[in-house]
């Protein structure tokens, strides 16, 4: 799965895997890994918990590993109680957590993450990743101003978000922007936590970042 990809497998053993690479390559790899894992296991009760961390190319390996552990822990905490039968219940995990180590805050000798978005893998693949691919087709066509407004909205969601999206759509003269905004409203994708992640990726894509 890592063949012909801009990836480096740092560790692989037991049920642990630690991979470094370009932010977009890791994103694509996460989708492939989850799909291949599900196909191989064929058991919906055996799942993956994954941590995705954006870091600066100058960060130490120790910091990257620490940040990845934090992200993975957040994913493991996102459990869902599933009934197997009338007498048994299972704590199902199956999530991926996204953290931005570039925006970390230092306090009292420790670093803190401003925001960690945790998404169930099915939502990540069917919503987050799908929206990301559509935005990729609109590369450089969405204004930085719109992206920033959507980023701010995704960090602090409210019940008026759809009204705000409708307002932005009415003010835009860009058909690509209108189509994206309309999709966010109609498909209710604005409600899932991966929206902030998607917008950060889109911002990175337009800036040509390879963190």
Q: What is the pLDDT of residues 166-180, one digit of tens each?
A: 999 999 998 888 988
Q: Taking Cα atoms as reference points, which of 184, 22, 49 lies closest to residue 118?
A: 49
Distance of CA 67 to CAs 53, 112, 176, 194, Å? 7, 10, 36, 19
Q: Per-residue pLDDT for 10 more than 90? A: yes
Average pLDDT score, the chain: 83
Q: What is the pLDDT of residues 86-122, one digit of tens each?
A: 666 777 889 999 987 666 666 666 666 667 888 899 9
**The pairing of beta strand 16-21 with beta strand 7-13:** antiparallel
β-sheet bridge partners, residue 11: 18
Sign of CA dihedral 62, 74, 83, 194: negative
Q: Per-residue pLDDT for 138 more than 50? A: yes
Better-scored residue on pLDDT, 65 or 194: 65
> Counting Cβ atoms within 10 Å, is residue 54 exposed (0-12), middle (13-18) or buried (19+)?
buried
pTM of the model: 0.80
Residue-wise DSSP of 118-170: EEEHHHIIIIIHHHHHHHHTTTTTS-HHHHHHHHHHHHS--TTHHHHHHHHHH
Better-scored residue on pLDDT, 157 or 57: 57
pLDDT of residue 151: 83
pLDDT of residue 17: 94
What the block records as the tokens of 190 is: 């604005």
């Amino acid at each position: 799965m890592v063949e012909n990809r801009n990836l480096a497998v740092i560790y692989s053993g037991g049920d642990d895997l630690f991979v470094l690479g370009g932010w977009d390559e890791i994103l694509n790899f996460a989708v492939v890994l989850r799909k291949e894992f599900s196909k191989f296991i064929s058991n919906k009760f055996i799942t993956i918990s994954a941590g995705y961390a954006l870091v600066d190319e100058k960060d130490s390996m120790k910091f990257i590993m620490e940040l990845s552990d934090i992200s993975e822990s957040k994913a493991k905490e996102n459990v869902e109680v599933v009934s197997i039968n009338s007498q048994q219940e299972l704590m199902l995990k199956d999530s991926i957590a996204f953290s931005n180590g570039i925006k970390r805050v230092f306090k009292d000798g420790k670093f803190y993450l401003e925001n960690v978005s945790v998404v169930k893998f099915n939502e990540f693949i069917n919503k987050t990743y799908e929206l990301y691919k559509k935005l990729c087709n609109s590369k450089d066509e969405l204004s930085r101003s719109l992206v920033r407004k959507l980023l701010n909205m995704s960090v602090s969601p409210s019940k008026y978000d759809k009204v705000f999206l409708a307002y932005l759509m009415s003010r835009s003269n860009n058909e690509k922007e209108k189509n994206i905004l309309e999709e966010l409203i109609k498909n209710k994708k604005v409600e899932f936590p991966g929206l902030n992640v998607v917008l950060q990726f889109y911002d990175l894509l337009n800036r040509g970042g390879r963190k």
